[in-house]
Amino acid sequence: MNKPSQYLRLALLQLKRFRNREENLEVVTRKIEAVMEDQKPRLICLSENFTRSSGFHRDPENVRDGYCFQRLPELARKHEVYIVGGTIPEKGQNDEVYGACTVWDPKGRLVAKYRKVHLADLYVKAGFTYLESARFTAGNEFSIFEVDGHKIGLGVCHDLRFEEMARGYRNAGCEMLIYPSDFADYTGFKYMELLQRSRANDNQLYVVTCAPAFDPTAKHFSFGHSMVVDPWARVQVCAGEDETTVVTDIDFSLVKKVREELPIFGQRRLDLYPKAKEMS
């Protein structure tokens, strides 16, 4: 059995979006070619809803033969790279639509699929209302994949708010969590960094978000600020709001170091925590 590699070069593609999926896939293709030539990452991440600038639930596809789902394995195979494919609207067996994140390995094989579990239904007093449950169906399973011996858990955007989910991935041995995201500028400004650093601090692992770039001409104003937070809960790298490609090196030995220096998981009082339910 090969020894896990300590380092992983990660690229986050923070892109502006067009109205149709064909234009967006052409941009993704060019950006992947450019970053592979210049930086040669091992893993590339795309954002939530990267195929459309609005109407995110429209034109759902089957993973088996959908246009976008098929382009991603072609790119992974061509460039011999892992691709976390943001989210694409996936058509279910009974015409339900899921926000599906797929992961493709350097041979173009599907190694993970995650359907967004927590749907964002938001009622903001400033007048912002967004009901994701009116357009999408929630998934019911978590998903983990491995890169060079390291376990990585998947979530999508609103999932970042739920510590129990991140804790489940930590218990399963994950050293990194990746959340393709599309925070609105209003909520992103208030919470995105706080949530990401909280999940990293709670579970002593890397937390990654990849978001679309801010576009003042779009109907949905994305916050941008794709980010990597390390196991000390420090922001390792953060994009601004503009279109950019973020490349950074992940040092997985830091996960082990933090967990050894602060062994909080061995200090938990699992005998007491169930009693909190009795006090509610």
Is 116 noted as a catalytic residue in this protein? Answer: yes
Q: Which of 45, 48, 175, 210 is catalytic?
A: 48
Catalytic residue among 45, 90, 116, 243: 116
Contacts of 136 (CB under 8 A, 6+ apart): 57, 89, 97, 98, 99, 116, 119
User: Among the options 45, 68, 101, 157, which is catalytic?
Assistant: 157
**Separate counts of helices (H) and strands (E) for the chain:** 6, 15
Nearest Cα neighbor of 242 from 209, 208, 215 is 215
d(CA 78, CA 17): 23
Residue 157 annotated as catalytic: yes
Q: What is the pLDDT along the chain (280 residues), one digit of tens a residue?
A: 467 789 999 999 999 998 889 999 999 999 999 999 999 999 999 999 999 877 778 889 999 899 999 999 999 999 999 999 999 999 998 889 999 999 999 999 999 999 999 999 877 766 667 789 999 999 999 999 999 999 999 999 999 999 999 999 999 999 999 999 998 877 777 889 999 999 999 999 999 999 999 887 777 788 889 999 999 999 999 999 999 999 999 999 999 999 999 999 999 998 998 887 676 5
* Lookup: tokens for 18: 């067009």
The encoded tokens of residue 160 equal 């970042």
Question: What are the start-end ranges of the E strands in 105-223?
Answer: 110-115, 121-123, 129-131, 144-147, 150-154, 176-180, 206-210
Specify the pTM: 0.94
The DSSP bridge partners found for residue 44 are 11, 83
Structure tokens given for 47: 């954002």
**Structural domains of the chain, with CATH:** 7-264 (3.60.110.10)
